[in-house]
Amino acid sequence: HNLHEFEKLRGAIKGSSVNGISQLKRYLHRFGYLEAQADDVFDSNLENAITKFQEKLGLPVTGKLDSPTVLELMSPRCGVPDFPGKLHRIKN
């Protein structure tokens, strides 16, 4: 992931199609928030995933790609999924 790419998604709104949303969806899938999707549409699934991300990380819950959320998305982080049991299995 090139996390700095998420900067250009700041302010994207539901219903829009924005280049880079697919990368965000891959990120949210990787960390356990979203089933795999490869399109660039800001749909209800993405809104729900953003809401879950905000709740999990103690951010203001808006369902939007606001500044605190984008800043967190761009932060270096641990590779362990935030919901490891839901969409991923840790391979023991």
Size, binding site for another protein by CB under 8 A: 22
- CA-nearest of 18, 20, 28 to 51 is 28
Binding of another protein by 87 (CB under 8 A): no
Contacts of 62 (CB under 8 A, 6+ apart): 51, 54, 69
Sequence-distant (6+) residues with CB within 8 A of 58 are none
Residue range at the interface with another protein (CB under 8 A); choices 13-21, 36-44, 53-61: 53-61
Nearer to another protein, 38 or 79 (CB): 79
Least distance to another protein, CB of residue 27, Å: 10
Whose tokens are 């023991």? That residue is 92
- 36 counts as binding another protein under rule CB under 8 A: no
Candidates 7, 11, 19, 56; binder of another protein (CB under 8 A) is 56
Cβ(82)–Cβ(56) below 8 Å: yes
Binding site for another protein (CB under 8 A): 1-3, 31, 55-58, 72, 75-80, 82, 84-86, 90-92
